[in-house]
C-alpha cells in the first residue's frame, strides 16, 4: 500500500466516499485518487513522490499552471495583511475593472464564492428582473448543485423536469423546463409554448460538462431571437469557458449575446470565486440597489480577489490566448493523426484551451444523448494507461481536459506519444 492508498482508506472513514466532491473518488475509472503534495507549472507531485503532467488544472481555474510566481507572490502579500474583513477591499475593484473591461456597454459585476452560487444568483436575478418564474435549461449542461438546477428531463423531448438528485423536492423544479441541445425545432416550440411565463434560458456558453458539446451557431442565434421576442433573458454560464476560449468571452461572439454572464474558475485564479455580470440596468436589481437579495460573508474577500486579479493581469499581458490556441491546435492535430494511424473511431473536440476526446465517435457529439455510453469503458483503460505514463487526465470520460500556459510543445508531444499507447490498449 502506498501513501495515497493509505490516505484514501483513512479518508473513507471520515468523509462520504472519502472525498469532498464526487468525481474525485475515481469511481468512473477505478483505482485510488491521486493526492497531490505540490504543484508547479504543468506538473503535480503526489504524496508518493510521483510526478504527473496535469491536464485537470484544478478543473479549469489554473490557466497559468500551478503556483504561478506572480499570483503566489501577490496572494502571499494579501494573506500577510489579513484573510477576510467582511468589508469592501481594493482588490475587488481591480478584479471588477478587469472583468468588466471585456464586457459591452455599461456593466456591473457581483462576486460570490463558487460557480454554483453565481448561477443560482443569476437565475434569481433573471426571475426578479422579468417578474416571471419559468427557466429553461438543457440536458447535458451542468450549472452547479443548487436545488432547482439538479433537474433532468421528464418523459418527453422538451418538458418540465424532475429532480435529478435525492433531497430535491419536486416543487423546487416545477418551473424548470428541460430542453434538448441541438434541436432547434423542439426548443423553439417549447419556448414559444411557455411564452410570457419564460424568465430565462440558461445554457453553458459551450456545454462542457458532458463532453464538449459545441453547438451550431444557428441554434444559439435562435435562442437569442426567440428569447428577445418573448421578453426573456439569456443567462450564459461561462463558469468553465470564461477566459479559456479566446477574448472576449465566447458567448459574446457565438450568437448568444447574454443578458447575464456567470463566471467562476479562472476568475478566481485557483481560489473560491464566482461572478455574475451584466448590464447596469439588469445588475441594479440586486440588493442593495434593487429588490433581488444576495449576500455572502466571504464574498469579495481580498485573497480570492487578489488571486483572480493577478491571474487576469498575467493573461492580459502575456498574449496567453494565442499561446493556448497554438498548444491546443498541436494537441488536436496530433490526436487526429493518431486516430488515422490506428484506424479507430475517435475524435478530439476542442475550444481554445479546453479539449475532450470523444471515443467510439466518428464526429464530435453535439448532445449528451449522442455520447456512446460504452466508450466510457475505453476511457477507463486509457485513463489508467495515461496515469501509469505520468499523465493526469480527469477521472471520468465525460470530463474535459484543460491546458495551461505552463504546458509546452514538448509536453504535448509526450502526451501524444502516451495517448497512442493508451488508445491502442483501449481499443485492443
Ligand atoms: C458550467 C459550470 N457552471 C457551474 C459550475 C459550478 O461551479 P462550482 O463547482 O464552482 O460550484 C461548474 C463547475 O464545474 C460549471 O462547469
Domains of the chain: 3-67+319-426 (3.90.1150.10), 69-317 (3.40.640.10)
Residue in the structure block whose three cell numbers are 487526429? 336
Say how far apart CA 266 and CA 283 lie, in whole Å.
Answer: 22
Q: pLDDT tens digit string along 346-376?
A: 999 999 999 999 999 999 999 999 999 999 9
Q: Is 142 a catalytic residue?
A: yes
Q: Is the pTM of this model over 0.95?
A: yes
Q: Give the pLDDT confidence score for residue 97 in this predicted structure.
A: 98
- Which CA distances in Å does 349 have to 207, 258, 399? 12, 24, 12
Which one, of 308, 345, 349, 321, lies nearest residue 405 by Cα? 321
- Report pLDDT for 112: 98
Q: What is the DSSP string of 48-105?
A: TS-EEEES-GGGTT-TT-BT-HHHHHHHHHHHHT-S--SS--HHHHHHHHHHHTTSSS
Please state, rounded to an integer, the average pLDDT across all residues of the chain. 97
Judged by DSSP in three states, 394 sits in coil
Rounded distance between C-alpha atoms, residue 340 and residue 155, angstroms: 39
Per-residue pLDDT tens over the stretch 323-354: 999 999 999 999 999 999 999 999 999 999 99
Active site residue 237: yes
Catalytic residue chosen out of the listed positions 265, 360, 379, 398: 265
Q: Is the CB of residue 239 below 6 angstroms from any atom belonging to ligand 1?
A: yes
Q: How many CB atoms lie within 10 A of CB 367?
A: 18
Distance CA 264, CA 117 (A): 9
Residue 164 DSSP class:
S
- The predicted pLDDT at position 428 comes to 95
State in Å: Cα 413 to ligand 1 middle.
Answer: 30
Q: What pairs with residue 424 in β-bridges? A: none
Query: What value does the mean pLDDT take over residues 285-301?
Result: 98
The helix/strand/coil state of 179 is: strand
Best residue for ligand 1 mutational test, from 115, 207, 236, 351 (most atoms within 8 Å of Cβ):
115
Is the shortest distance between the CB of 138 and ligand 1 below 6 Å? no
Q: What is the mean pLDDT of residues 263-271?
A: 98
Angle between helices 302-317 and 90-100 (to 10 degrees): 40
Give residue 160's pLDDT band: very low, low, confident or very high (50, 70, 90).
Answer: confident
Q: Are 150 and 158 in contact (CB under 8 A)?
A: no
Question: Within 10 A of 142 (CB to CB), how many other CB atoms are there?
Answer: 20
Residue 59 has pLDDT above 90, yes or no: yes
The strand ranges marked E within 271-378 are 274-279, 346-351, 354-359
How many helices (DSSP H) and strands (DSSP E) are in the chain? 12, 17
Secondary structure class of 119 (helix, strand, coil): helix
Note the pLDDT tens digit of each residue in 1-31.
899 999 999 999 999 999 999 999 999 999 9
Look-up: residue for cell 456512446?
A: 372
The owner of cell 497531490 is 36
293 has catalytic annotation: no
Sign for the CA dihedral angle at 392, 394, 396, 402 comes to: negative
Amino acid 323: pLDDT:
96
* Lateral strand order in the sheet of 51-54: 36-40, 43-46, 51-54, 391-392
Amino acid at each position: 500500500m502506498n501513501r495515497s492508498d493509505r490516505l484514501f482508506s483513512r479518508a473513507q472513514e471520515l468523509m462520504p466516499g472519502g472525498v469532498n466532491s464526487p468525481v474525485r473518488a475515481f469511481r468512473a475509472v477505478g483505482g485510488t485518487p491521486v493526492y497531490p503534495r505540490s504543484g508547479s507549472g504543468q506538473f503535480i507531485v503526489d504524496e508518493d513522490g510521483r510526478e504527473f503532467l496535469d491536464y485537470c488544472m484544478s478543473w479549469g481555474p489554473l490557466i497559468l499552471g500551478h503556483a504561478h510566481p506572480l499570483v503566489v507572490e501577490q496572494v502571499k502579500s494579501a494573506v500577510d495583511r489579513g484573510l477576510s474583513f467582511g468589508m469592501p477591499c481594493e482588490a475587488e475593484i481591480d478584479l471588477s475593472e478587469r472583468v468588466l473591461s471585456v464586457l459591452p456597454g455599461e456593466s456591473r459585476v457581483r462576486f460570490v464564492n463558487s460557480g454554483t452560487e453565481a448561477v443560482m444568483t443569476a437565475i434569481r436575478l433573471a426571475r426578479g428582473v422579468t417578474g416571471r418564474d419559468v427557466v429553461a435549461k438543457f440536458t447535458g449542461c451542468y450549472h452547479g448543485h443548487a436545488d432547482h438546477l439538479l433537474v433532468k428531463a421528464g418523459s418527453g423531448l422538451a418538458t418540465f423536469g424532475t429532480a435529478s438528485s435525492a433531497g430535491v423536492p419536486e416543487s423546487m423544479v416545477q418551473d424548470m423546463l428541460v430542453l434538448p441541445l441541438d434541436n432547434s425545432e423542439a426548443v423553439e416550440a417549447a419556448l414559444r409554448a411557455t411564452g410570457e411565463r419564460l424568465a430565462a434560458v440558461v445554457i453553458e456558453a459551450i456545454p462542457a460538462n458532458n463532453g464538449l458539446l459545441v453547438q451550431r451557431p444557428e441554434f444559439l442565434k435562435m435562442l437569442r431571437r426567440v428569447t428577445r421576442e418573448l421578453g426573456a433573458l439569456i443567462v450564459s454560464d461561462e463558469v468553465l469557458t470564461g477566459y479559456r476560449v479566446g477574448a472576449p468571452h465566447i458567448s459574446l461572439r457565438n450568437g448568444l449575446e447574454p443578458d447575464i454572464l456567470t463566471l467562476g474558475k479562472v476568475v478566481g485564479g485557483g481560489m473560491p470565486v464566482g461572478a455574475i455580470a451584466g448590464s447596469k440596468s439588469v445588475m441594479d436589481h440586486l440588493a442593495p440597489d434593487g429588490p433581488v437579495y444576495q449576500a455572502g460573508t466571504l464574498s469579495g474577500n481580498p485573497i480570492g480577489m487578489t488571486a483572480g486579479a493577478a491571474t487576469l493581469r498575467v493573461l492580459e499581458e502575456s498574449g496567453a490566448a494565442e499561446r493556448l490556441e497554438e498548444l491546443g491546435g498541436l494537441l488536436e492535430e496530433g490526436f487526429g493523426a493518431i486516430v488515422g494511424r490506428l484506424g479507430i473511431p475517435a475524435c478530439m473536440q476542442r475550444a481554445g484551451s479546453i479539449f475532450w476526446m470523444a471515443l467510439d465517435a466518428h464526429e464530435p457529439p453535439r448532445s449528451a444523448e449522442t455520447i456512446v455510453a460504452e466508450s466510457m469503458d475505453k476511457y477507463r483503460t486509457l485513463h489508467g494507461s495515461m496515469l501509469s505514463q505520468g499523465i493526469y487526465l480527469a477521472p471520468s470520460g465525460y470530463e474535459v481536459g484543460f491546458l495551461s500556459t505552463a504546458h509546452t510543445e514538448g509536453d504535448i508531444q509526450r502526451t501524444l506519444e502516451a495517448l497512442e499507447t493508451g488508445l491502442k490498449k483501449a481499443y485492443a
